[in-house]
Amino acid sequence: MVVLALAVFAADQLTKKLVLNFLGYADERVVIDGFFKFVHWVNTGAAWSMFHGNNAILAVVALVALLLLVLLRHRFDIHTTIGWVALGLMFGGIAGNLLDRLLPTRRHVIDFLYFYVRRRGDGAEVGFPAFNVADSAICVGVFLLFVLSFRKENLARPQPPSEGSLKSE
Protein backbone atom coordinates (compact mmCIF):
# COMPACT_ATOMS: atom_id res chain seq x y z
CA MET A 1 0.00 0.00 0.00
CA VAL A 2 2.78 2.45 0.91
CA VAL A 3 4.72 1.67 -2.27
CA LEU A 4 1.61 2.24 -4.39
CA ALA A 5 0.82 5.50 -2.57
CA LEU A 6 4.38 6.73 -3.15
CA ALA A 7 4.23 5.69 -6.82
CA VAL A 8 0.93 7.57 -7.34
CA PHE A 9 2.31 10.61 -5.51
CA ALA A 10 5.51 10.57 -7.60
CA ALA A 11 3.62 10.10 -10.90
CA ASP A 12 1.26 12.93 -10.00
CA GLN A 13 4.04 15.36 -9.11
CA LEU A 14 6.18 14.36 -12.10
CA THR A 15 3.34 14.90 -14.56
CA LYS A 16 2.50 18.27 -13.00
CA LYS A 17 6.17 19.28 -13.22
CA LEU A 18 6.12 18.36 -16.93
CA VAL A 19 3.03 20.51 -17.42
CA LEU A 20 4.77 23.43 -15.69
CA ASN A 21 7.86 22.95 -17.87
CA PHE A 22 6.18 22.46 -21.24
CA LEU A 23 2.85 24.29 -21.12
CA GLY A 24 2.35 27.92 -20.24
CA TYR A 25 -0.61 28.81 -18.07
CA ALA A 26 -3.87 28.22 -19.99
CA ASP A 27 -1.96 26.70 -22.94
CA GLU A 28 -3.33 23.61 -24.67
CA ARG A 29 -1.81 20.81 -26.77
CA VAL A 30 -4.31 18.81 -28.79
CA VAL A 31 -3.53 15.09 -28.80
CA ILE A 32 -6.67 13.79 -30.53
CA ASP A 33 -8.67 16.61 -32.11
CA GLY A 34 -12.23 16.65 -30.89
CA PHE A 35 -11.51 14.22 -28.03
CA PHE A 36 -8.42 14.82 -25.85
CA LYS A 37 -5.83 17.47 -25.12
CA PHE A 38 -3.29 18.45 -22.50
CA VAL A 39 -4.10 21.75 -20.82
CA HIS A 40 -2.52 23.83 -18.07
CA TRP A 41 -5.37 24.91 -15.86
CA VAL A 42 -5.34 25.65 -12.15
CA ASN A 43 -7.99 24.89 -9.57
CA THR A 44 -8.27 26.44 -6.11
CA GLY A 45 -11.47 24.48 -5.57
CA ALA A 46 -12.39 20.81 -5.37
CA ALA A 47 -13.86 18.55 -8.07
CA TRP A 48 -15.44 20.50 -10.93
CA SER A 49 -14.06 23.69 -9.28
CA MET A 50 -16.64 23.47 -6.50
CA PHE A 51 -15.67 25.68 -3.55
CA HIS A 52 -13.45 27.74 -5.87
CA GLY A 53 -11.13 30.06 -3.95
CA ASN A 54 -11.13 27.97 -0.77
CA ASN A 55 -7.68 26.45 -1.15
CA ALA A 56 -6.74 26.70 2.55
CA ILE A 57 -9.98 25.08 3.71
CA LEU A 58 -9.60 22.31 1.15
CA ALA A 59 -6.03 21.69 2.34
CA VAL A 60 -7.39 21.18 5.87
CA VAL A 61 -10.09 18.85 4.49
CA ALA A 62 -7.37 16.84 2.70
CA LEU A 63 -5.31 16.59 5.89
CA VAL A 64 -8.36 15.38 7.82
CA ALA A 65 -9.12 12.86 5.05
CA LEU A 66 -5.57 11.49 5.23
CA LEU A 67 -5.78 11.25 9.02
CA LEU A 68 -9.13 9.45 8.85
CA LEU A 69 -7.79 7.01 6.25
CA VAL A 70 -4.85 6.22 8.53
CA LEU A 71 -7.02 5.81 11.62
CA LEU A 72 -9.76 3.81 9.89
CA ARG A 73 -7.64 1.80 7.45
CA HIS A 74 -8.41 -1.49 9.26
CA ARG A 75 -12.07 -1.06 8.26
CA PHE A 76 -11.15 -1.15 4.57
CA ASP A 77 -10.06 -4.79 4.51
CA ILE A 78 -6.44 -3.96 3.64
CA HIS A 79 -5.57 -7.65 3.68
CA THR A 80 -7.19 -8.04 0.27
CA THR A 81 -5.61 -6.83 -2.93
CA ILE A 82 -8.58 -4.59 -3.69
CA GLY A 83 -8.43 -3.07 -0.21
CA TRP A 84 -4.76 -2.17 -0.20
CA VAL A 85 -4.84 -0.95 -3.80
CA ALA A 86 -7.82 1.28 -3.00
CA LEU A 87 -6.11 2.79 0.03
CA GLY A 88 -2.79 3.19 -1.76
CA LEU A 89 -4.47 5.04 -4.62
CA MET A 90 -6.38 7.31 -2.26
CA PHE A 91 -3.38 8.07 -0.02
CA GLY A 92 -1.18 8.92 -3.01
CA GLY A 93 -3.85 10.99 -4.75
CA ILE A 94 -4.86 13.00 -1.70
CA ALA A 95 -1.20 13.64 -0.82
CA GLY A 96 -0.43 14.77 -4.39
CA ASN A 97 -3.19 17.36 -4.51
CA LEU A 98 -2.47 18.40 -0.91
CA LEU A 99 1.14 19.19 -1.77
CA ASP A 100 -0.07 21.41 -4.63
CA ARG A 101 -2.28 23.33 -2.22
CA LEU A 102 0.51 23.76 0.34
CA LEU A 103 3.42 24.71 -1.94
CA PRO A 104 4.00 28.47 -1.67
CA THR A 105 4.85 28.55 -5.39
CA ARG A 106 1.43 27.10 -6.32
CA ARG A 107 -1.37 27.29 -3.75
CA HIS A 108 -3.64 25.57 -6.28
CA VAL A 109 -4.04 22.17 -7.93
CA ILE A 110 -2.78 21.76 -11.50
CA ASP A 111 -5.22 20.00 -13.83
CA PHE A 112 -4.04 18.95 -17.27
CA LEU A 113 -6.02 16.03 -18.73
CA TYR A 114 -9.03 17.24 -20.70
CA PHE A 115 -11.51 15.08 -22.63
CA TYR A 116 -14.06 16.81 -24.82
CA VAL A 117 -16.24 16.61 -27.92
CA ARG A 118 -17.26 19.30 -30.37
CA ARG A 119 -20.91 20.29 -30.37
CA ARG A 120 -22.69 19.99 -33.71
CA GLY A 121 -23.53 23.25 -35.33
CA ASP A 122 -21.29 25.77 -33.61
CA GLY A 123 -18.31 23.45 -32.94
CA ALA A 124 -18.02 24.58 -29.32
CA GLU A 125 -16.19 22.22 -26.97
CA VAL A 126 -18.22 20.28 -24.44
CA GLY A 127 -15.90 18.55 -22.03
CA PHE A 128 -15.43 16.71 -18.81
CA PRO A 129 -13.69 18.92 -16.24
CA ALA A 130 -9.90 18.77 -16.53
CA PHE A 131 -8.21 16.52 -13.98
CA ASN A 132 -4.83 15.06 -13.04
CA VAL A 133 -3.19 11.80 -11.95
CA ALA A 134 -4.09 12.39 -8.28
CA ASP A 135 -7.76 12.95 -9.13
CA SER A 136 -7.82 9.74 -11.16
CA ALA A 137 -6.20 7.75 -8.35
CA ILE A 138 -8.68 9.06 -5.78
CA CYS A 139 -11.67 8.22 -8.00
CA VAL A 140 -10.42 4.71 -8.80
CA GLY A 141 -9.62 4.13 -5.10
CA VAL A 142 -13.11 5.18 -4.01
CA PHE A 143 -14.65 3.00 -6.75
CA LEU A 144 -12.62 0.00 -5.53
CA LEU A 145 -13.83 0.59 -1.96
CA PHE A 146 -17.41 0.50 -3.23
CA VAL A 147 -16.69 -2.75 -5.06
CA LEU A 148 -15.13 -4.17 -1.91
CA SER A 149 -18.06 -3.12 0.27
CA PHE A 150 -20.59 -4.70 -2.10
CA ARG A 151 -18.51 -7.85 -2.25
CA LYS A 152 -18.35 -8.05 1.54
CA GLU A 153 -22.08 -7.36 1.77
CA ASN A 154 -22.86 -10.22 -0.62
CA LEU A 155 -20.56 -12.61 1.27
CA ALA A 156 -22.19 -11.70 4.59
CA ARG A 157 -25.73 -12.19 3.28
CA PRO A 158 -27.20 -15.53 4.46
CA GLN A 159 -27.53 -18.02 1.65
CA PRO A 160 -30.86 -19.78 1.09
CA PRO A 161 -30.72 -23.48 1.89
CA SER A 162 -29.91 -25.74 -1.03
CA GLU A 163 -32.34 -28.42 -2.21
CA GLY A 164 -30.11 -31.16 -0.84
CA SER A 165 -30.10 -29.73 2.67
CA LEU A 166 -33.90 -29.43 2.67
CA LYS A 167 -34.38 -33.12 1.73
CA SER A 168 -32.14 -34.36 4.53
CA GLU A 169 -34.22 -32.61 7.23
**Domain residue spans of the chain:** 2-156
Taking alpha carbons only, the member of 93, 92, 87, 112 closest to residue 19 is 112
Q: How far apart are CA 112 and CA 130, in angstroms?
A: 6
CA–centroid distance for 25 within its chain = 23
Query: One digit per residue, pLDDT tens: the chain, 169 residues?
Result: 899 999 999 999 999 999 999 999 999 999 999 999 999 999 988 877 778 888 899 999 999 999 999 998 887 777 889 999 999 999 999 999 999 999 988 899 999 999 999 998 998 999 999 999 999 999 999 999 999 888 766 666 666 666 655 555 5
Q: How far apart are CA 58 and CA 53, in angstroms?
A: 9
User: Among all residues, which ones are annotated catalytic?
Assistant: 111, 135
H or E stretch covering 33: none
